[in-house]
């Protein structure tokens, strides 16, 4: 029997980029703790499949297909959800992409696409959701950072810059919104088996390096983020603000 501290019954969570991967795994974890779920993505077919999977587990779920980098679309989608589905109590800013390239060869488009999707979107969605949370004097915002909020590696300067910025945006949200009863925190995953990392997992040399570089000696599984998401979405974290909870098998602890 889970402690009532972690019970999300009666709460509604919007998870961006949640038709698959880490976003879907966290959405499912919140649902298993009792939350109603809004799945977001741009591919309606993927969203429908993801929603069906949750409905099969008797989850109250809806989908909202909108581009998290388009402020007008974000504002309209959030207004519609609040009016027609439920007030958004929990926001997980998870949407993220990768456009890998050596920095000196990186195109402006590769830079801007990653910064827009991985950083600016968190600002745009939080800006749409937070005023309503402030009016209700309660809300949980969870930004999905990365170990790349702290370190980088060649070919992902755009991703590391975005995730570093997202760490500081998380703290900025906490500083401005904690007095209104909101808690803004972040989860920083290490290397997880996702579609975004398929090319890395399938690269024998990179796979060997990651398993050696990570004290746990393996890649993370998406469902291993659910516990941290439930904690930061629940009453158990009501006095936690501006924190980055790293889930990386010990990677950042090791030289």
Is residue 190 part of the contact set for ligand GCO (CB under 6 A)? yes
Catalytic residue at 191? no
- Residue 214: CB minimum distance to ligand GCO, A: 11
Among the listed residues 165, 189, 222, 249, the single contact to ligand GCO using CB under 6 A: 189
Would you say 32 or 152 has its CB closer to ligand GCO?
Answer: 152
Is residue 139 part of the contact set for ligand GCO (CB under 6 A)? no
Select from 26-34, 102-110, 185-193, 211-219 the region that touches ligand GCO (CB under 6 A): 185-193
Residues 54-113 that bind ligand GCO (CB under 6 A): 98, 100
What does the DSSP 8-state code read for residue 221? P
Nearest to 158 by CA among 167, 148, 168: 148
Q: Give the total of residues touching ligand GCO (CB under 6 A).
A: 14
DSSP E strands in the chain: the ranges are: 12-15, 36-41, 61-65, 90-93, 139-144, 182-189, 244-247
Select from 47-55, 87-95, 142-150, 224-232 the region that touches ligand GCO (CB under 6 A): 142-150
Which residues, 6 or more positions from 223, have their beta carbon under 8 angstroms from its beta carbon?
Answer: 25, 28, 29
Among the listed residues 13, 14, 26, 147, the single contact to ligand GCO using CB under 6 A: 147
Distance of CA 172 to the CA centre of its chain: 17
Would you say 53 or 115 has its CB closer to ligand GCO?
Answer: 115
Which structure tokens are listed for 60?
């109250």
Residue pointed to by tokens 């968190």: 122
Helix residue ranges, H only, the chain = 21-32, 44-55, 71-84, 108-115, 121-136, 157-177, 198-201, 204-213, 226-233
Nearest to 118 by CA among 25, 16, 195, 210: 16
Is residue 197 part of the contact set for ligand GCO (CB under 6 A)? yes
Could you report how far apart the first and last alpha carbons of the chain are, in Å?
39
- Given 24, 159, 191, 192, the catalytic residue: 159
Would you say 32 or 98 has its CB closer to ligand GCO?
Answer: 98
Q: Which residues are catalytic?
A: 159
Residues that bind ligand GCO (CB under 6 A): 98, 100, 146-148, 153, 156, 159, 189-191, 196-197, 200
């Amino acid at each position: 029997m889970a402690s009532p501290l972690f019970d999300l019954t009666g709460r509604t969570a919007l998870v961006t980029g949640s038709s698959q991967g880490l976003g879907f795994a966290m959405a499912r974890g919140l649902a298993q703790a009792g939350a109603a779920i809004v799945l977001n993505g741009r591919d309606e077919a993927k969203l429908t499949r993801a929603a069906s999977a949750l409905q099969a587990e008797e989850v109250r779920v809806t989908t909202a297909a909108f581009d998290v980098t388009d402020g007008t679309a974000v504002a309209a989608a959030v207004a519609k959800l609040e009016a027609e589905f439920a007030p958004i109590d929990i926001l997980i800013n998870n949407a993220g992409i990768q456009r890998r390239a050596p920095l000196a060869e990186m195109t402006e488009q590769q830079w801007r696409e990653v910064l827009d999707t991985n950083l600016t979107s968190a600002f745009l969605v939080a800006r749409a959701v937070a005023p309503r949370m402030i009016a209700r004097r309660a809300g949980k915002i969870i930004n999905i950072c990365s170990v790349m909020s702290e370190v980088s590696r060649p070919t992902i300067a755009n991703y590391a810059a975005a995730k570093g910025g997202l760490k500081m945006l998380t703290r900025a949200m906490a500083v401005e919104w904690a007095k209104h009863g909101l808690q803004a925190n972040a989860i920083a995953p290490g290397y997880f088996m996702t579609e975004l990392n398929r090319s890395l997992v399938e690269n024998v040399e990179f796979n060997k390096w990651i398993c050696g570089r990570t004290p746990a000696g393996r890649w993370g599984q998406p469902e291993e983020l659910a516990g941290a998401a439930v904690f930061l979405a629940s009453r158990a974290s009501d006095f936690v603000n501006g924190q980055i909870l790293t889930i990386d098998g010990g990677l950042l602890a090791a030289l």
